Every structure is written in structure tokens, then in C-alpha cells.
Amino acid sequence: MNHDKGDFEANLAAAAGNDPALAAELRACFVESLDNQRDLLARARCDGNWEVSALRLRSLGASFHAHGLIALAAEALESAPGDPVVLRKLAAFSQSLKEQA
């Protein structure tokens, strides 16, 4: 899954400066936030909870210009709560970030 590595990595580097430990910590926090919101999205059974989690994912993506996550969040907003396709795409996105670490 493409997660616009250039924009994400550039913003991660800008936030961390020349500190690789900080960059690793920021990446880990980003992925942890993604996984937490993905879990909440997966457990959402009503439109309101689904929408709140999708909006939080979109905000998380926007915070580091992760355009792939922003697009997935938009897809979630257009789908029904519990949509397995969206949930699988988000899981693959998260896994791709973990593999980049």
C-alpha cells in the first residue's frame, strides 16, 4: 500500500530534525495512534462512532501529510460501519509503515 512515503518521511524528518531516535519515536507514536483509531473504527457499530474514528484517522494523516491515510479515512467516511474492505486496507497501511521502520 502506497502511503506517500516522500511527504510522510519529509514531515517526519522536519519534526525530528537530525535526531534519529526522535524520528523512530515519532514513527512509533504515529503507528500506535493509527492502530488505536483503527481498532476503534473496527469496533464501531453506529454511524456516529464510525465517523468520529474516521475523522480522527484523517486528522492523524493530515498531521504528517500521510496522503494515503487521508484517502483511506475519506473512504471510511463514505462507507458503512464495519466495512471489512476499509478495515483491511487500513491494516495493510499500518503494516506498511511498520515494515518501513
Q: With beta carbons less than 8 A apart as the criterion, state whether 46 and 81 touch.
A: yes
pTM: 0.88
**Average pLDDT, consecutive stretches of 10 residues, N- to C-terminus, the chain (101 residues):** 67 90 93 96 95 97 93 97 96 92 72
CA distance 97 to 33: 12
Task: Report pLDDT for 39.
Answer: 97
* Residue ranges of domains in the chain: 5-100
Helices and strands (H, E) in the chain, number of each type: 5, 0
Closest by CA position to 8, among listed 75, 69, 72, 53? 69
